[in-house]
Amino acid sequence: MRVAPARQGFGISKVMHVGEDILLARHGDRIAELRQNRKHDITIARLHGGSTDWAANSLVDMSPRVTDFPVARIGRLTDDFKADRLGIKRDEARFLAKIGAIWGGVVLALTGGILWLTYTSGNSEMLHAVMANPGY
């Protein structure tokens, strides 16, 4: 097994990563070389048979650190929704979507009714105040 030599000196010792421990436990003396991938925080082992294996250098799940494009995340979320693998069931999501659509329709109808009543009342100042009010 080829490992980078530790520097000798006062207070300097080789840091052993968690990934090295995991790979040594998995493969033992079949490891030919160990190297660190600092970008992904993993240790990679090349075995005598030519195959490779890797292990994380931390004990946390690495999946939240993987960065995706939003389109890929939406695609995975859509696939999970179709397969009913989400925390919310499909029937619940459909029910919430129907309630949201009904509520949106009620809000639009009320807003339209208020604007129609204001317009038909013939008071242009009131219509101008409703349409141009900055919110205070």
Q: Is the pLDDT of residue 30 over 80?
A: yes
Question: How is the chain split into domains, by residue range?
Answer: 18-65, 70-132
Spatial separation of the C-alpha atoms in residues 131 and 126, rounded to whole Å: 9
- pLDDT, position 10: 47
Confidence bin at 34 (pLDDT 50/70/90): very high
Nearest by Cα to 39 from 26, 57, 53: 57
- pLDDT, position 60: 66
Q: What DSSP character marks residue 41?
A: T
- Which pTM was predicted? 0.37
Lowest mean pLDDT among 16-20, 21-25, 44-48: 16-20
Amino acid at 103: W
Spatial separation of the C-alpha atoms in residues 51 and 30, rounded to whole Å: 10
Q: Show the 3-state SS of 61-117.
A: CCHHHCCCCHHHHHHHHHHHHHCCCCCCCHHHHHHHHHHHHHHHHHHHHHHHHHHHH
What mean pLDDT is predicted for residues 120-134? 73
Spatial separation of the C-alpha atoms in residues 22 and 45, rounded to whole Å: 10
The string of pLDDT tens digits covering residues 87-101 is 788 888 889 999 999
